[in-house]
């Protein structure tokens, strides 16, 4: 399973500022940080590919088993150095499954590797990417969930089949 570390609480330094690095044995580092009363920020670093996505799925399933504690899942992908197409489609499936059980997932930050893959796969309209003007951000650039009206919002788009897709 991917490295799981306890993280700083609200108001403490970000994972990167705290010097957090992924486990030596893992190519995907996963850090969970509380985000407000009902959210969790999951920061990923390293490589997100078909082999490392299992660790991410395990963490997400663990969070989904406690929806009363985690109604908002914020994903920070800014420290991903490598990302393949399959992992983005896996991430899309994870986000869709979470939405089905009442957990809103939002990708709050992306780095160059993830943005390149999102553009390559044309998933920008299907992945729940944060729209910066819709979300007030804290000093670290993450959605500020400490305000009562601060739940992350994503827009929806109708597909040709009539299904609603988060973006």
For the cut 70, the answer to whether the pLDDT of residue 47 exceeds it is yes
92 and 127 Cβ atoms separated by less than 8 Å: yes
For position 138, what pLDDT does the model report?
53
Give the Å distances, CA to CA, from 55 to 48, 106, 122, 141: 10, 19, 25, 25
The helix/strand/coil state of 48 is strand
Model pTM score: 0.67
For the cut 50, the answer to whether the pLDDT of residue 64 exceeds it is yes
Q: Where are the domains of the chain?
A: 26-166
For position 38, what pLDDT does the model report?
87
More confident position, 149 or 58:
58
Q: Could you say which of 3.30.750.24, 2.30.29.30, 3.90.1300.10, 3.40.50.720 is the CATH number of the domain covering 26-166?
A: 3.30.750.24
Strands (E), the chain: 3-6, 28-35, 39-48, 72-83, 104-110, 156-158, 164-166
For position 17, what pLDDT does the model report?
52
For the cut 70, the answer to whether the pLDDT of residue 53 exceeds it is yes
Average pLDDT (32-51) is: 92
């Amino acid at each position: 399973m991917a490295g799981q570390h306890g993280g700083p609480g609200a108001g403490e330094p970000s994972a990167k500022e705290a010097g957090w690095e992924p486990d030596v044995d893992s190519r995907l580092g996963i850090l969970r940080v509380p985000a407000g009363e009902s959210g969790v920020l999951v920061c990923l670093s390293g490589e997100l590919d078909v082999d490392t996505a299992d660790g991410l799925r395990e963490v997400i399933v663990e969070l989904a088993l406690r929806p009363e504690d985690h109604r908002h899942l914020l994903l920070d992908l800014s420290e991903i150095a490598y990302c393949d197409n399959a992992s983005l489609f896996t991430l899309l499936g994870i986000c869709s499954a979470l939405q089905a059980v009442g957990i809103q997932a939002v990708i709050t930050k992306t780095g160059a590797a993830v943005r390149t893959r999102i553009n390559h796969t044309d998933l920008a309209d299907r992945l729940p990417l944060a729209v910066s003007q819709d979300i007030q951000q804290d000093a670290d650039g993450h959605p500020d969930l400490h305000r009562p009206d601060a739940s992350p919002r994503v827009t929806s788009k109708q597909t040709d089949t009539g299904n609603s897709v988060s973006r």
